[in-house]
Chains A and B, each alone.
Chain A
Amino acid sequence: MNVFRFLGDLSHLVAIVILLLKIWKTRSCSGISGRSQILFAIVFTTRYLDLFSNFISVYNTSMKIVYITCSYATVYLIYGKFKATYDFNHDTFRIEFLLVPSAILAFLVNHDFSPLEILWTFSIYLESVAILPQLFLVSKTGEAETITSHYLFALGSYRLLYLLNWLWRYFSQGFYDLIALLSGILQTVLYCDFFYLYISKVLKGKKLSLPA
């Protein structure tokens, strides 16, 4: 475990908790894409199926449980408890266009043609594009609440920190995983314009609004 990976996991955890708290405290999921949250729940489910069969460390198992629990709780809050505040008019990105290609690619390009490995690969490909419905929603509404932009910044930073973690592991252990690396690069690239807006606007106290 190196510092980049630890900070990456921390950033990911902060993002997930920020979102859950935002919805719970404001009792509203306005500006949040339920579809992205469904995709994240699928990502964690398909990636952590080895939760009980494959013990790596207390840290690893407990973080997986937290991620899965929080992601399902978030989906429940959006589509269950606070569905009256769900912005279904704008949250219209066709997630089947993300699910099907990820599934096909997972069958074609993977490290090992076993069920667990193909599901892991599917979760990696899906995670790289899972934020698209959320970014699409922000672009359609033209703005995002400040707390939502903090959520997106933490979420985007997590995979950026993982890229640094893989760089570190390559030079220190000669370890690399092209599937995770290339997906992580795509995932991080999708946040670039958001990162620019966040740093140039939100950090100066302005609201995150996209140029109309």
Chain B
Amino acid sequence: ADGDALHDEL
């Protein structure tokens, strides 16, 4: 998924 759609935080 592109950057902003990928949520890397919990």
- A residues with CB within 8 A of B: 5, 9, 12, 54, 56, 60, 63-64, 67, 111-112, 114, 116-117, 120, 162, 165, 177, 180
Q: How far is the CB of B5 from chain A (nearest CB, A)?
A: 5
> What chain A residues lie within 8 Å of B7 (beta carbons)?
120
Kindly list chain A residues whose C-beta atoms are within 8 Å of the C-beta of B4.
Answer: 111-112, 177
Contact A114 B10 (CB under 8 A): no
Q: Is the CB of A54 within 8 A of B6?
A: yes
Which of the four size classes fits the interface of chain B?
A: under 10
Complex CA gap A177/B3 in Å reads 12
What is the CA–CA distance of A64 and B9 in the complex, to the nearest angstrom? 10
In the bound complex, CA of A54 to CA of B1 (Å): 9
- The CA-CA distance from A64 to B10 in the complex, in Å, is 7
Q: Are A12 and B5 in contact (CB under 8 A)?
A: no
Would B8 and A56 count as touching, CB distance under 8 A?
yes
Chain A residue nearest to B7 in the complex (CB): A120
Query: In the assembled complex, which residues on chain A have CB atoms less than 8 Å from the CB atom of B8?
Result: 56, 60
Min CB distance, A167 to chain B, in Å? 14
Q: Is the CB of B5 within 8 A of A67?
A: no
Residues on the B chain within 8 Å of A114, using CB? 5
Residues of B within 8 A of A162 (CB): 9
